[in-house]
Amino acid sequence: MRYDVAIVGGGVIGCAIARALSRFHLKTILLEKECEVGFGTSKSNSGIIHAGHNGATGTLKGELEWAGNQMWDALHDDLDFGFLRNGELMVAMSPEEVPTLQHFLQQGTARGVTGLEIWDGERVRREEPALSDDIVAALHAPTAGVVNPYEVCFSLIENASRNGVELLLDCPVEAIKRDSDGEFDIRTRQQPVHARFIVNAAGLFADEIARMAGAGTFQIRPRKGEEYLLDKRLRGMVKRTIFPCPTAQSKGILVIPTYDGTLMIGPTA
């Protein structure tokens, strides 16, 4: 079967691209190796919508973070998945960490992030009484949010499918070859797919797909964290997502309310 675009990978990125392409007169197919979309990395992420000030200046991540943050309200209005702008606090446990808060305040302000302000320890405990008395200050970012990652993926691909995008599940890509016209022959476990263009949204396996397509210029070195979903009796212990001041190695251990108020605790890369 011949397509204009074949998307490899059905996580949140692949599903979002599928929905975006469904607005055009293109024959598009999404190939996902798992039994359902979102069953790779997307099922295991924290669901945090970053406020816009976290990504380093001068990086693509930093450039896109704030622009992406502002798109979630309209996307939620269109698709009605679980979404809440609960805000975040980056906390300083000592005076030596306060300059880190000031750095992120200045970085966010420079790129237009709204509502950023530094709270003293008294304000932090007034707003979030369950937090430690050792906290000396925190950067408050009201634009941060949380989503239900499963609902986001399902909503995106359902909308894309209604608009004509085809979906093949349990369909890992096994090989990719380029024909004499510069188009792609994709061998999958289910059926051959011929496409003018390939979008590589394969997540942790994007380097393998790139190598198959002759663009093996990078290698993914994944990092794995752990998250603990706490009992619903602790719902409401904190309202905002709580970050420590980051280090060069990690963002540390976070406390993350889900969109319905349940708590998760875990480290993130």
Active site residues: 50
Task: Please choose, from the candidates 54, 9, 59, the residue with its C-alpha nearest in 3D space to the C-alpha of residue 173.
Answer: 9
Partners of residue 120 on adjacent β-strands: 137
Quote the CA–CA distance of 8 and 14 in Å, as a whole number: 7
Q: Which of 72, 21, 17 is nearest to 48 (CA)?
A: 72
How would you write the chain as a 3-class SS string? CEEEEEEECCCHHHHHHHHHHCCCCCCEEEECCCCCCCCCHHHHCCCEECCCCCCCCCCHHHHHHHHHHCCHHHHHHHHCCCEECCCEEEEECCHHHHHHHHHHHHHHHHCCCCCCEEEEHHHHHHHCCCCCCCCCEEEEECCCEEECHHHHHHHHHHHHHHCCCEEECCCCEEEEEECCCCCEEEEECCCCEEEEEEEECCHHHHHHHHHHCCCCCCCCCCCCCCCEECCHHHCCCCCCEEEECCCCCCCEEEEEECCCCCEEEEEEC
- The token pair at 213 is 């397509």
